[in-house]
Amino acid sequence: MSTEVKIPAVGESITSGVLSGWLKQNGDAVLDGESIFSLETDKISTEIPSPASGTLQIMVAAGEEVKIGQIVAMIDPAGAAGEPEAKETTAKATVTASAKADEPAKEEPALSPAVRRLAAEEKIPLGEVTGTGKHGQVTKPDLINYLERPAKKETEDLSSEASAKEEPKQKPAPAPVAERKEVVPSVPASTDGRSVRRKMSPLRKKIAAQLVMAQQNAAMLTTFNECDMSAVMHLRSSYQEAFQKRHGTKLGFMSFFIKAVVDALHLVPAMNARIDGDDLVENRYYDIGVAVGTERGLVVPVVRDADKKSFAELENSVGGFAAKAREGKLQLDELTGGVFTITNGGIYGSLLSTPILNPPQSGILGMHKIQDRPMAIGGKIEIRPMMYLALSYDHRVVDGKEAVTFLVRVKECIEDPTRLLLQG
């Protein structure tokens, strides 16, 4: 009896994804647990394993949008590893492949998922790319260099041609050379070089759809405040060396804000609630999402039970997520189930913004750039390191008074960090 290959559930707020590519061909033999296709959602790109061993029968083409639970292939057990002869043949093939591992000229090095995705999106012929990785493996920087090389060559050719034809009263070139550098080899540019058209990646399309859905389906409102970062900065500078020596990680700002958000969620339970149909679900746990920017888009890994973690544990969790995000190694279960999200646009220089909700959550806190500003302190003007805070919330769940109370509590915890230690 054939086994159905279905799109797995990837979170309570995700109903569809994009089948970005098949890792096996139609009719190939696959093993139970072997990755057979890549799935992309607005949160993550991951490889989905085969639920059984047998022959793959593909039913949905790569690049199509698929629903959670949709059948995309069948696994025919006929001839699968299970008969003694098949097992013996497979074992011999494995030994033979291992014996040939010393022949790099005949065996292509394995490609990472990130390299395969970029090559597929940009339609790069991998045979033309020179690998600089271990055993000649093609890396992501190799692909980027390959994409840039033709543009650079075209720029040099244009410059040489312009120099050769230069005349005293030569008319200016119709398009600046700097604009030509944006040309991607696989995408045709306009004739004058002023624009380039390329297809959106599956991940970017899902992010766009998710953001529009968030704005259309929630009564989103944003309230603002500012906090004095002097106390937290002084605390960090005083204990940074000892903290790093003891815990092996730096004491950053994010752990303070996670602690402050948890404290404020205890004070304002409405912010820790969500709408589910006609019901209002109030969460009694504190799994906090922390937005992390990557080359391919924004992902939001979740720090589980943030209320039970120490500052060191929070810093290790956030740092670990950031490293995984950059390497494309985040797992699906690390990106689902959050009750509240924190995003820090300040690391990119943002002074003020209005963050968009991460459905089905009812609140998101935006941190921003720390900037010295004159403040009235005790009747005197002092220069203080200030940060604007922005809280976007779903007005269907949270009233204005509750939202302001929540944000003021976060401000109080940051300006007086001892509250976080005394639970005051």
Q: What is the 3-state secondary structure (H, E, C) of the chain?
A: CCEEEECCCCCCCCCEEEEEEECCCCCCEECCCCEEEEEECCCCEEEEECCCCEEEEECCCCCCEEECCCEEEEEECCCCECEHHHHHHHHHHHHHHHHHHHCCCCCCCCCCHHHHHHHHHHCCCHHHCCCCCHHHCCCHHHHHHHHHHHHHHHHHHHHHHHHHCCCCCCCCCCCCHHHHCCCCCCCCECCCCCCECCCCCHHHHHHHHHHHHHHHHCCEEEEEEEEECHHHHHHHHHHHHHHHHHHCCCCCCHHHHHHHHHHHHHHCHHHHEEEECCEEEECCCCCEEECEEECCEEECCEECCHHHCCHHHHHHHHHHHHHHHHHCCCCHHHCCCCCEEEEEHHHHCCCCCCCCCCCCCCEEEEECCEEEEEEEECCEEEEEEEEEEEEEEECCCCCHHHHHHHHHHHHHHHHCCHHHHHCC
Question: What's the mean per-residue pLDDT of the chain?
Answer: 81
pLDDT digits (tens, 9 = 90+) for 386-411: 999 999 999 999 999 999 999 999 99
pLDDT of 297: 73
**Annotated catalytic, 28?**
no
pLDDT of 68: 87
The listed CATH number (3.40.50.1820, 3.40.50.150, 3.30.559.10, 3.50.50.60) that belongs to domain 218-422: 3.30.559.10
Q: Which one from 157, 276, 333, 399 is the annotated catalytic residue?
A: 399
**Annotated catalytic, 399?**
yes
- Comparing 93-102, 209-218, 270-279, 312-321, the range with the smallest average pLDDT is 93-102
Indicate if the pLDDT at residue 165 is higher than 50: no
- Comparing 124-128, 141-145, 243-247, the range with the smallest average pLDDT is 141-145
pLDDT of 183: 41
The CATH architecture assigned to 3-136 reads Beta Barrel (2.40)
Choose between 123 and 249: higher pLDDT.
249
- Comparing 25-34, 76-85, 160-169, 263-272, the range with the smallest average pLDDT is 160-169
Choose between 133 and 294: higher pLDDT.
294
pTM (whole model) above 0.75 = no
Burial per residue of 242-277, b for 16 or more beta-carbon CB atoms within 10 angstroms, e otherwise: ebeeeeebebbbbbbbbbbbbbbbeebebbbbbbee
Domain ranges in the chain are 3-136, 218-422
pLDDT of 81: 47
Q: Which one from 135, 157, 305, 395 is the annotated catalytic residue?
A: 395
pLDDT digits (tens, 9 = 90+) for 206-231: 778 878 888 888 899 999 999 999 99
Q: What is the mean pLDDT of residues 93-98?
A: 46
